[in-house]
Structure 1
Amino acid sequence: MYKNYTEINALKEIMPDANEVIVEKIKKLNLLIERGINPYPYSYNNVTHSSFIIDNFNTVSGEDTFRVAGRIMFLRRMGNATFLNIKDQSGNIQIFVSKSNIGIEKYSLIKLIDVGDLIGVQGTVFKTKTEEITLRMADLTILSKAIRPLPEKFHGIQDIDLRQRHRSLDMIMNNDVKERFINRSKAISALREFMNEKEFIEVATPILDTKYGGGEAKPFTTKVNSMNTEVYMNVSPELYLKRLMVGGIERVYTIARSFRNEGIDKTHYPEFTLFECYMAYVDYNDMMNLMENLFEYVFNKVNETSKVVYDGTEIDFKAPWKREKMCDLVRNHTGIDVEVLGKEIIVDSIKEKGLLKTSQDEGLNIIEASKGELIIALFDEYCVQDLIQPTFVIDFPMDSSPLCKIHRDNPELIERFEPYAYGIELGNAYSELNDSLRQRVLLNEQANKLRAGLATASPMDEEFAVAIDTGMPPAGGLGIGIDRMIMFLTGATSIKEVIAFPLVKR
């Protein structure tokens, strides 16, 4: 028993925030043990979810017996009778118990249970005078005596930091939070279902490696002691998936934990879930079709509609999505025809119109920047916020990626697209570069930038280069941020709301 911990000073040695409410709960815990009751039994089998009982009430007999288990969320004692409400994963059900039903000895246990405890109840179903479906208790089993009270019933946890620090309490008090993580799981299952039906092969790629590549990002570093070697945490699985294509897997995908040691905001987080796939003998047009159909499939599977209301705006992910050229968007929003004009004229136009002042404050030097960097800066500053409905922004400047094919109609561009909705980037895709000599040149340029001090540049990956030298088929590649997909699917406006246990400061 825990009699020592009914003295609050002793309890504070192991629970610094202990109070008199917790002490009283421990006293009840001791009374249960004194009566020979294990308040933490090993199992409680043959449980029926509350939603099944409620949905099938009209087809069950009043003599059919059910066993339910869940957390007490409401308890009202009325002398010889008590009403409870318990919550399981599927929903809530009311419980009625009377002394005459379960006997004096069992009924006396009601005094030793509290809101927050987990119990098992066996009984028959009926409707109260107010037409509420209710389980009449015939037997009670205490499954877990809680020694800490739940947050205040009507307000729950309001502080965002506390909600993320104590996510389990957040889920107990806010059912939509629990449902968000259930729907996240359903969405990933639907994604796998969609890809597997199209004969893609799922693989696992390394989280730890002696090199990193596939994305311009600052990596996390750690050390493998047994090898006395510094390693990096996965930035992107891209290069490994392409090596598998070289090896003969023509349709491949992974759902990978990825890590980038950069900023945190509403859509960025250092640890995230990345879906990437590669498909031989297709280009970026085919990957657009794949992505829009994948989104439509997942949203219909989980929400039974392709439409969502996100931050008060209705967005429809039904295929097909709009296609917009990046240079056209920049011209329409700034009046500068960046596709036709040379860099010097673009710089003069930016100065004349007073554009990109914010970007310059953040370190962009419009004189030293390349034409491609200026185009992307103008796009980010003046176009992104207007991309509300799902849109593929296509045909990026040539220097925006070393892993993409040159555009077949314009050598200053590459066949790359990024999908956007509500001004949020959802992914990235290419007609994949498979010219091995050009690939080596571009990877060496990236490595030189890294040596020159650009922390987000990638080192040379010789194993990948050797694989491409061997011959990789023409292919389309696609990466999707799963967390951002789930934000739209569940209506969450911050990426931390779709990550079960985000980092919080100690």
Structure 2
Amino acid sequence: MVKKEFDELNDQLQVRREKMQELRDEGVDPFGSRFERTDRSKDLHDKYENITKEDLEKLNKKTSIAGRIVAKRGKGKVGFADLKDQTGRIQFYIRKDEVGEEQYQIFKRADLGDFLGIYGDVMKTDMGELSVRVEKLTFLSKALRPLPDKHSGLTNVEQKYRQRYLDMIANEDSFNRLLKRTKVIKAVREFLDNLDFVEVETSMLHDSAGGAAARPFITHHNALDTDFYLRIALELQLKKLIIGGIDRVYELGRVFRNEGIDTKHNPEFTMLETYAAYWDLSDVMVETEDLVRYVAKKVNKTTTITFHGNDIDLAPKFKKTTMVEAVKEATGVDFSKDISTEEAFKLAHEHDIEVQEFWKTGHILNEFFEKYVESTLIQPTFVTGHPIEISPLAKKDPVDPRFTQRFELFIGGGELANAFSELNDPIDQRERFIEQAKESENGNDEAQHIDDDFVIAMEYGMPPTGGLGIGIDRLTMLMTDAPSIRDILLFPTLKPEK
């Protein structure tokens, strides 16, 4: 900020503080107290927007509203202002000869950003705008800093995310998108509750980081003198509840992954995971498809959405393909053949794919898919047949044990959901964990650790189970056409200001 702008801002701060003191000197508390309101702006528009000026006068309806001043106009003894609350905005109209000198001076001293309470008649102006004619005005809170310019809004991207409250005040789209997130979560809960899933809360501090391939955050508990991990997934504890006898269980909860930040990733995010005893992958496909449609209908009132310039139709049956088929169609490379690790490394080099030393053929197949296929899957597509190397918690494919009973759902060029026919053989599970431990020793810092406690739980008997994971943030992005995950997080992770 240049010095001139800084000085101007200081001038505005000083003027607002002077007005605050003037209010106090006149016996008005500039930071108010409880105010009883009978309506919000949307209530008034819904009730009276279609009633004529003359009929409104006959109704003689009184209302009590409250909100922030976002526009103010008028001269002399008559004034107009727009009051904004959570549901929208409404105009109020004030006359000095009707409210008196004291009340009118309160209005005159009110700045954009201040909160007022208004009691008066519901009316329409000669121009037909629904308004409230003020009988009594109550000062509720003084804004000591000016709001962002109403024409340019909040254009600084860093400030938009760092001062989310200003973004919500200045940008209607941001405000509505963030509110829609709550509708997405409510719709998810409704859908699962209707299927008799039980919602639970599990612990965020784990003594072992498991349930996903991710680098964890580590913290230390002083009293126990023990390191703990912020959970990277909900999976293993929810499976223990399946073992404990809850047939259908889900959790909506925060998970934490110590990874990079981009338009699809934030170090903490909200995950939905569901598990249903006696289900397999086919059941979870139906669950996932129905869930996505249900949320779209509840939140957007349609199954046709626009995302990043693409029109996406959620109504038809979702397409299905295998990872091997998709890679072969995109690159001509056929991983259904028995390809050695050495041959896979050679294919990766020929197709400009960077490899890591601990990789095997399955890792390279997955990298082919991510580089050449994933971004092309715009319409809803289930991709199945993931390699066993990248799916340590999924059942093996009984026909070809190189692959697993797993799917990922892709919409709009990105992954939305991940699901398994869950591995319930404790001996196989321990062997998978051992393979993951070897990867960790060879440099894979996202490999899963051997979780003896989980394996012991499985040894008491875990029924066949279908499991699903959906990123709530990505689902919200899809439903709101958000350009970045930061646009649907109230307070995204940012580097602290110096």
Coarse TM-score class (shorter-chain normalised): over 0.9
User: Partner residue of 1:8?
Assistant: none
SS at match of 1:374: helix
Cα distance between partner residues in 1 of 2:171 and 2:347: 52
Q: How does 1:99-498 map to 2 (within 5 A)?
A: 99-318=96-315, 320-343=317-340, 346=344, 354-355=350-351, 357=352, 359-360=353-354, 363-364=355-356, 369-498=359-488
SS at match of 2:100: helix
TM-score, structure 1 as length reference: 0.92
Alpha-carbon RMSD:
1.8
Amino acid at match of 2:139: I
Amino acid at match of 1:497: D
Amino acid at match of 1:184: R
Q: Any conservation in 2 of the 1:62–1:126 contact (CA below 8 Å)?
A: no
Amino acid at match of 1:496: R
Structure 1 residue 18: Cα displacement: 6.1
Cα distance between partner residues in 2 of 1:427 and 1:316: 17
Cα distance between partner residues in 2 of 1:62 and 1:97: 20
Amino acid at match of 2:65: V
Cα distance between partner residues in 1 of 2:433 and 2:8: 55
Amino acid at match of 2:18: K
Amino acid at match of 2:100: G
Cα distance between partner residues in 1 of 2:8 and 2:77: 36
Amino acid at match of 1:493: P
Q: Any conservation in 1 of the 2:263–2:485 contact (CA below 8 Å)?
A: yes
- Structure 2 CA distance for partners of 1:348 and 1:207, relative to 1, 3 Å: closer
Structure 1 residue 313: Cα displacement: 1.2
Structure 1 residue 458: Cα displacement: 2.0
Cα distance between partner residues in 1 of 2:213 and 2:344: 26
- Structure 2 CA distance for partners of 1:349 and 1:457, relative to 1, 3 Å: closer
Cα distance between partner residues in 1 of 2:344 and 2:144: 67
* Cα deviations by residue, 1:262-308 (Å, 9 ceiling, x for unpaired): 11111011100010010111111111110110010011001101111
* Cα deviations by residue, 1:289-338 (Å, 9 ceiling, x for unpaired): 10110010011001101111112211122352111111101111111121
- Structure 2 CA distance for partners of 1:165 and 1:348, relative to 1, 3 Å: closer
Structure 1 residue 397: Cα displacement: 1.3
Structure 1 residue 451: Cα displacement: 4.2
1:37 and 2:28 are equivalent in the alignment: yes
Q: Any conservation in 1 of the 2:386–2:406 contact (CA below 8 Å)?
A: yes
Structure 1 residue 348: Cα displacement: 5.1
1:63 and 2:57 are equivalent in the alignment: no
User: Partner residue of 2:3?
Assistant: none
- Structure 2 CA distance for partners of 1:42 and 1:110, relative to 1, 3 Å: closer
- Structure 2 CA distance for partners of 1:349 and 1:464, relative to 1, 3 Å: closer
SS at match of 2:24: helix
Cα distance between partner residues in 2 of 1:430 and 1:319: 23
Structure 1 residue 482: Cα displacement: 0.5
Cα distance between partner residues in 2 of 1:483 and 1:307: 19
Cα distance between partner residues in 1 of 2:189 and 2:293: 14
Amino acid at match of 2:225: N
Q: Any conservation in 1 of the 2:267–2:493 contact (CA below 8 Å)?
A: no
- Structure 2 CA distance for partners of 1:349 and 1:443, relative to 1, 3 Å: closer
Q: Any conservation in 1 of the 2:70–2:83 contact (CA below 8 Å)?
A: yes
Structure 1 residue 53: Cα displacement: 0.7
Q: Any conservation in 1 of the 2:270–2:471 contact (CA below 8 Å)?
A: yes
SS at match of 2:178: helix
Cα distance between partner residues in 2 of 1:347 and 1:223: 40
* Cα deviations by residue, 1:372-429 (Å, 9 ceiling, x for unpaired): 1121111111111210011111111121211111112222211111111121111211
SS at match of 2:74: strand
Cα distance between partner residues in 2 of 1:438 and 1:136: 74
* Cα deviations by residue, 1:207-243 (Å, 9 ceiling, x for unpaired): 1121110011110011111111111101001000000
Q: Any conservation in 1 of the 2:348–2:364 contact (CA below 8 Å)?
A: no
Cα distance between partner residues in 2 of 1:99 and 1:92: 23
Q: Structure 2: where are the runs of 5+ without partners?
A: 1-5
Cα distance between partner residues in 2 of 1:449 and 1:31: 70
Cα distance between partner residues in 1 of 2:271 and 2:20: 45
Cα distance between partner residues in 1 of 2:300 and 2:316: 16
Structure 1 residue 371: Cα displacement: 1.5
Structure 1 residue 345: Cα displacement: 5.1
Structure 1 residue 55: Cα displacement: 1.4
Amino acid at match of 1:51: K
* Cα deviations by residue, 1:429-479 (Å, 9 ceiling, x for unpaired): 101001111111111222333344432122221211111011100011000
SS at match of 2:295: helix
Equivalent pairs, count: 484
Q: Any conservation in 1 of the 2:266–2:493 contact (CA below 8 Å)?
A: no
- Structure 2 CA distance for partners of 1:155 and 1:187, relative to 1, 3 Å: same
* Cα deviations by residue, 1:78-100 (Å, 9 ceiling, x for unpaired): 10100101111111111110112
Deviates more, 1:311-320 or 1:259-268: 311-320
User: Partner residue of 2:79?
Assistant: 82
Cα distance between partner residues in 2 of 1:259 and 1:18: 39
User: Partner residue of 2:38?
Assistant: 47
Q: Any conservation in 2 of the 1:292–1:318 contact (CA below 8 Å)?
A: no
* Cα deviations by residue, 1:335-389 (Å, 9 ceiling, x for unpaired): 11211242355555555xx31x1x32xx446xx7311112111111111121001
Structure 1 residue 183: Cα displacement: 0.8
Amino acid at match of 2:170: M
SS at match of 2:418: strand
